[in-house]
Amino acid sequence: MLIDAHCHLTDGAFDPDRAAVLARARAAGVGHVIVIGTTLEDSLETAAFARATAGCSATAGVHPHEAKTWSAEVAARLRALLHDPEIVAVGETGLDYHYDHSPRDDQRRAFEAQLALAAEARKPVVVHAREADADVAGLVQEWGRQVPAIVLHSFTGSRALFDVGMDVGAYFSFSGMISFKNWRPSVRPSDCPTDRLLVETDAPYLAPVPHRGRRNEPGYVREVAASLAQQLAQTPEAVAQRTTDNAVRLFGTRLAHALSAPPSLVS
Ligand SMILES: [Zn+2]
């Protein structure tokens, strides 16, 4: 069994065929999917979706792109949402200085506030970092031991973030990017402790080879795991077992509940 540790299943890209997407994931051996929240409204949706769909759990948070929407009211409503058993982590949060969709000060403020919420709620934090590794590393260093765990999602292998991640015992979640021919990381998956490895799709984005450039979906986490297995010189089965064990330890035993049959799925 495989667990997709990061996917945006509430994204409009899945509106036409969400149930079929999950049926294909199930057929591909995906037992559980973590549905990631990106705004307060989206997090309410991911929670409802996970509540209605066996084999799905959710996160609640505000993505760095949306950090300009952060407010005391958003914080209070997220804090309340974190009590829901379907919500297994805070996020995704972090910093993205590539797109700068929100002012950097807003991004840092929303990130730090979500780290504080996670420390209070005792939930792991799913962290997005793009061209902001120094600032992300600083906040992860500061908060990494005050939250139950940090997940460096779609980890791209930068050295600054790796060193801090190692220091705070972070999890390194690899996406389809590791299957791209032009992927030249300074830190390889084999540098990461095996009990800290996760696999994810980040669907609908970052489809792995041979689906690159098309819509990604949770079933393709199989290709991500295959690529990881190749790089670790392990069998796909060993990598599936290892990353699933890691995800259950990280997010909780709720993840042992597997995807149900398609007819009960919300579409
Ligand atoms: Zn994401």
| pLDDT tens-digit series, residues 186-203 | 999 999 999 999 999 999
| Residue 21: closest CA among 47, 56, 61 | 56
> What is the per-residue pLDDT for 1?
92
Say what the pTM is.
0.95
Residue 154 CA to ligand 1 centre (angstroms) = 8
Ligand 1 centre to CA of 151 (Å) is 12
pLDDT over 90 (residue 266)? no
The pLDDT assigned to 258 comes to 85
Name which of 149, 148, 139, 138 is nearest 173 in CA terms: 149
Q: How many CB atoms lie within 10 A of CB 257?
A: 13
The pLDDT tens digits of the residues spanning 120-131 come to 999 999 999 999
Q: How far does residue 7's CA lie from ligand 1's centre (Å)?
A: 6
pLDDT of residue 261: 59
Query: Average pLDDT, whole number, for the chain?
Result: 95
Strand pairing of 197-199 and 125-130? Answer: unpaired
Does residue 264 register a pLDDT over 80?
Answer: no
The dihedral of CA 80, 72, 132, 135: what is its sign? negative
CA 126 / ligand 1 centre spacing (Å):
9
Q: How far is the CA of 150 from the centre of ligand 1 (A)?
A: 15
Q: How far is the CA of 225 from the centre of ligand 1 (A)?
A: 18
With 50 as the cut, is the pLDDT of residue 263 above it? no
- Calpha distance 187→146 (Å, rounded): 25
Residue 158 has what pLDDT? 87
Instruction: Judge whether residue 262 has pLDDT over 80.
Output: no
Ligand 1 center to residue 92 CA distance, Å?
A: 6
What is the distance between the alpha carbons of residues 234 and 232, in angstroms, rounded to a whole number?
5
- d(CA 59, CA 151) in angstroms, rounded, equals 12
Tens-place pLDDT, residues 71-100: 999 999 999 999 999 999 999 999 999 999
| Cα distance between residue 173 and residue 154, in whole Å | 5
- What separation in Å is there between the alpha carbon of 66 and the centre of ligand 1? 12
> Per-residue pLDDT tens for 214-231?
999 999 999 999 999 999
Residue 208 confidence class, pLDDT cut points 50, 70, 90: very high
C-alpha dihedral sign at 214, 220, 223, 225? positive
> pLDDT by residue (tens digit) across 132-148?
999 999 999 999 999 99
17-46 mean pLDDT:
97
Q: What is the whole-number distance in angstroms between the Cα of residue 36 and the centre of ligand 1?
A: 7
pLDDT of amino acid 78: 98
Instruction: Determine the pLDDT at residue 267.
Output: 46
The pLDDT, as a whole number, for residue 79 is 98
The β-bridge partners of 150 are 125
